[in-house]
Structure 1
Amino acid sequence: MALERAIAHGDSLWEADLLAAAHRLKRADITLDKGEEWEHLHTQFHRTLVAPCGSVWLLRFIEQLHDQFDRYRRLGPKMPTIRQELDEQHHQLVELALQRDAKAARELMDDHIHKSYEVALKRYQEHA
């Protein structure tokens, strides 16, 4: 819901912010400093993506979900092997958002979230 609303309401400043956030994320080194820079930029990218959704409550809810999931995602070691796939998904999300294709962006975001869940579960199972 937030992504679709953001795509509908985002302006040219949002587009510029989104492109900048995606660029910074792609250039970050996931292996440095326990990946903290990448983690921060990843969070910023997703915040930027939904920022113009127009609902403070929805943004707060998303933030809570992100924070809770993030706790589990960080349990295991970084997995740079999936970095290329994540970079490609982020790039596609930006392209779809700029094209104002909310339906395709929502479908890709669902896949992105599911992939993140699978990675977190795999990390937990391997290192529990």
Structure 2
Amino acid sequence: MALERAIANGDSLWEADLLAAAHRLKRADITLDKGEEWEHLHTQFHRTLVAPCGSVWLLRFIEQLHDQFDRYRRLGPKMPTIRQELDEQHHQLVELALQRDANAARALMDDHIHKSYEVALKRYQEHV
């Protein structure tokens, strides 16, 4: 919902901020070993993506969900194939947002979240 609203409400400043956040994340994908700096840039990218949704409550709820899930995602195993797919999805999300294709962006975000869940679940299954 937040992504759809952000796409509807986002202006040219949001587009510029989104492109900048995506660029920083992409450079970090290449130069960093998915450490703390990458985690920060990843969080900033997703925050920027939904920032103009127009609902402080929705943004707070997203932050809570992110914080709760993030600890498990970070513990996930190294899965280069899925990691590469997730990184590519960031680029695709930007393209869809700029094209104002809210339906396709939402479907991609659903898949993005599910793939991240798979990584976290794999970690859990290894320790059960």
Same fold (TM over 0.5): yes
Structure-2 separation of matches of 1:52 and 1:112? 20
Question: Deviation per CA, 1:82-113, whole angstroms, max 9, x where unpaired?
Answer: 33212210010000000000000000000000
Question: Which whole-Å CA distance do the structure 1 matches of 2:80 and 2:30 have between them?
Answer: 7
Taking structure 1 as the reference length, the TM-score comes to 0.90
Q: More deviation in 86-95 or 68-77?
A: 68-77
Tell whether the 8 Å contact from 2:77 to 2:119 is kept in structure 1 after alignment: no
Q: CA deviation at 1:67?
A: 0.3
CA distance in 1, matches of 2:5, 2:88: 23
1:24-52 deviations in Å (ceiling 9; x for gaps): 11111589576111111110000000000
Secondary structure class of the residue paired with 2:96: helix
Give the TM-score of the pair, scaled to structure 2.
0.90
Q: Quick one: distance in 2 between partners of 1:110 and 1:77?
A: 21
| Count of matched residue pairs | 128
Misfit runs of 4+, over 6 Å: none
- 1:92 and 1:38 map into 2 onto residues whose CA distance is 19
Q: CA RMSD in A?
A: 1.9
Tell me the secondary structure at the aligned position of residue 34 of structure 1.
coil
